[in-house]
Structure 1
Amino acid sequence: MRKIIIIGGGIGGTATALALNQAGFEPVVYERTQVLREVGAGIALWANATHILKKLGLLETAIQVGCLTTNYQFNSQRGKELVNIDLDGFELPVVAIHRAELHQLLWRNVPGEKFHLGETFERFEHQHDRVHAYFVSGLEVEGDGLIGADGLRSRVRATLLGDTPPTYRNFKTWRGLTDYVPSNYRPGYIQEFLGGGKGFGFMMLGKGKMYWYAAATAPEAQPDAVFGRKQELETMYQDWFSAIPELIAATDEANILTTDLYDRPPTQPWSKGNITLLGDAAHPMLPTMGQGACTALEDAYVVAKCLEENSDPIAAFQRYEDLRFPRTKAIVEQSLRSRKMGELKNPFAVSLRNTSMKIMGSAISSSFKSLHAYRA
């Protein structure tokens, strides 16, 4: 039984531990936080991701704690429909779920002894055909391979490839969670609204929760307004579609999180020898296509399958990278192109974009569906 060290216990790392455990490996996860948890955000698991959950035996439970999603609707800021994409055409459902629910679903199906919390990765060394990982606490462990699933600012990536910073993409985002459901919400819909230099979207999660997200152009590390995030957002979106100011008003200030948006230009390699990267550590992307967690689930399943098929972790990790790079590169680049459409501020340019989206609705829908028709 080959031992695989996983650095990072988020969705990608935990999904990898589960896939490897089911395949008969000995995965061991080292996570720097003291408690395994995800906070503050909902995600849409498109059919390419629910396919992975089905393979892992978790889809039915995910449906129970999430919310089935049938349509993705793009609108102008005042609510005029631009494109309405039917999501019912796949053999698998699209599920909107809170990140914490998905995270718990994954880690509860991995034996508890596979997780070591409160361990901050420091460095690694190769000794013969083994990899040794060292932690700030003084802990040293060895394994047949190591997977860095430690996020956007991955320490494993920095050690492996050099400590180059991610690229800020001139947007910040806010995320909120509330029990309030607007009267004009369309059940089963993800509704997204596009304005000048900013946007807003919302969708129903499981357990009666409504998740919303906002994004706007901003300088990097811009501080909150002196009067707080909630009031700032109420001012920014006061003349938008009526459900939007209603949702902001119904959300407690403490339940509004904000994050700057980064990615990295797709580059290879992200594997060296018996060490590889996964999820945001390998290919961080903007959230505009909703594929961050979905591609991390794909990575987890594919890397486990490659290790099953190759007795040598070096060959397995190279095969995994060869399989994953073209797809993740395309999604990173498509996500960036979508962001550029959201940067438009000139009223004429915004109007032209909206008109173009209406005219190209069928092509947008086809492109969208081809992205989610992928099966790892």
Structure 2
Amino acid sequence: MHATKIIIIGGGIGGAATALALHCAGLDFTVYERSQQLREVGAGIALWANATHILKNLGLLEDAIQVGCLTTNYQFNSQRGKELVNIAVYGFELPVIGIHRAELHQLLWRNVPREKFILGETFERFERRENRVCAYFKSGLSVVGGALIGADGLRSQVRTLLLGDQPPTYRNFKTWRGLTDYIPNGFRPGYIQEFLGCGKGFGFMMLGKGKMYWYAAAYAPEAQPDAAISRKQELERMYQDWFPSIPELIAATEEANILTTDLYDRPPIQPWSQQNITLLGDAAHPMLPTMGQGACTALEDAYVIAKCLQASDPITAFQNYESLRFERTKAIVIKSLRSSKMGELTHPLAVGFRNALMKVMSSAISNSFNSLHAYRT
């Protein structure tokens, strides 16, 4: 174990998970977060078995089960509700959990000493000084450490300084996310249910505390503004003739609880580490949400980077961390993009062929899915 201080830029799920993993490993660190409060925006996520494995190692699995909802099946359907693929996800030694992002975030940072989080500090740049790194912030604050981890998201400033100001790649989809207390009649307990149509899709799942999370995605130009009518009314029109639970969920959701974002990723590249500075989570390998692995791989990253830092000096540790993580995250980025292409189909004949192919390929899809979540660090 080494005694150097580690600077973490970003206090979201990836940064908070890294903080907890380093804390459990007995390492010295401080997290610098630009927001004035530690909070996650967004709605729900699925923590697949590869992620609940990390929570178990960090001592949080039982707490996550208490505030989440156990998931047993992942079902793909046509837009009218005809089943295409039904994947059982309860065969692992670890559960799959539906959880609100904010609940997961709180579980992570509440198990770390509060003084380890410095809020309201916007990172601007770094300088290397021999084997040290100095981080500078907009407020005028500067801090020195033996290593720096950029966990500052899709548009990471740390990444820009390391790898250049290349923008992320827009992948032709706009997404909406909603949260409601309403449980539709068509919901199957324990299921994540997704519905695929012509150039758009919809899914929903239970979270903890009786909350239903839903998400929609549609083929759209980048930065398309909201319709003149409200987001809610726009969605009601888009999905009016879909499986009955879908318009029911939209109607039951308050306008303020509907969020929208464009979807981006980046082509996987190496290196994402330089000497005693590295990237983690979306800063390193942003991916589309089609495989549900963004937060899950950030948890994996956090655990692996802590183990590497516990074993060696930061430069060697970051080289080992990247070598352990690159091929896996590259594969998931590519699979997530490939999966999104299936959603771009708009011609009814192409959509019909896709649906028929999914039914034929059901076993192969299930095996691929399970192999992804069987990963253990």
1:171 to 170, 173, 198: 173
Quote the offset at 1:335 in angstroms: 0.2
Q: CA–CA distance in 2 between the matches of 1:184 and 1:126?
A: 57
Quote the offset at 1:181 in angstroms: 0.1
CA contact (8 A) 1:71 1:190 kept: yes
Partner of 1:244: 246
Quote the offset at 1:196 in angstroms: 0.5
Matched, 1:210 2:218: no
Partner of 1:340: 341
Matched, 1:188 2:190: yes
Q: CA–CA distance in 2 between the matches of 1:118 and 1:143?
A: 19
2:305 to 303, 306, 326: 303
> Could you say what the CA RMSD is over the residues aligned between the two structures, in angstroms?
0.4
Quote the offset at 1:184 in angstroms: 1.7
Structure 1 stretches of 4+ moved >6 Å: none
SS in 1 for 2:218: strand
Matched, 1:86 2:88: yes
Q: CA–CA distance in 2 between the matches of 1:184 and 1:329?
A: 36
Matched, 1:254 2:256: yes
SS in 1 for 2:94: coil
- What do residues 156-201 of structure 1 show as CA deviations (whole Å, max 9, x unaligned)? 0001111100000000000000000001210000000000000000
- What do residues 210-268 of structure 1 show as CA deviations (whole Å, max 9, x unaligned)? 00000000000000001110000000000000000000000000000000000000000
Matched, 1:233 2:235: yes
Partner of 2:13: 11
Partner of 1:325: 326
Quote the offset at 1:129 in angstroms: 0.7
Partner of 1:358: 359
Quote the offset at 1:39 in angstroms: 2.0
Q: CA–CA distance in 2 between the matches of 1:228 and 1:352?
A: 34
Q: CA–CA distance in 2 between the matches of 1:88 and 1:179?
A: 25
Normalising by structure 1, report the TM-score: 0.99
- What do residues 141-169 of structure 1 show as CA deviations (whole Å, max 9, x unaligned)? 01110000000000000011111000000
Partner of 1:374: 375
Q: CA–CA distance in 1 between the matches of 2:77 and 2:180?
A: 22
CA contact (8 A) 1:40 1:177 kept: no
SS in 2 for 1:4: strand
- What do residues 261-319 of structure 1 show as CA deviations (whole Å, max 9, x unaligned)? 00000000000000000000000000000000000000000000001111x10000000
Q: CA–CA distance in 1 between the matches of 2:268 and 2:131?
A: 29
- The letter for the 2-side match of 1:262 is Y
SS in 1 for 2:18: helix
Partner of 1:37: 39
CA contact (8 A) 1:90 1:373 kept: yes
Quote the offset at 1:110 in angstroms: 0.4
Q: CA–CA distance in 2 between the matches of 1:105 and 1:120?
A: 24
Task: State the percentage of identical aligned residues.
Answer: 81
Residue correspondence of structure 1 range 95-244 to structure 2 within 5 A: 95-244=97-246
- The letter for the 2-side match of 1:353 is R
Q: CA–CA distance in 1 between the matches of 2:29 and 2:57?
A: 18
- The letter for the 2-side match of 1:16 is T
Quote the offset at 1:40 in angstroms: 2.6
Quote the offset at 1:41 in angstroms: 1.3
Q: CA–CA distance in 2 between the matches of 1:180 and 1:6?
A: 39
Q: CA–CA distance in 2 between the matches of 1:88 and 1:113?
A: 39
Q: CA–CA distance in 2 between the matches of 1:70 and 1:3?
A: 42
SS in 1 for 2:179: strand
SS in 2 for 1:259: strand
- The letter for the 2-side match of 1:194 is L
- The letter for the 1-side match of 2:119 is L
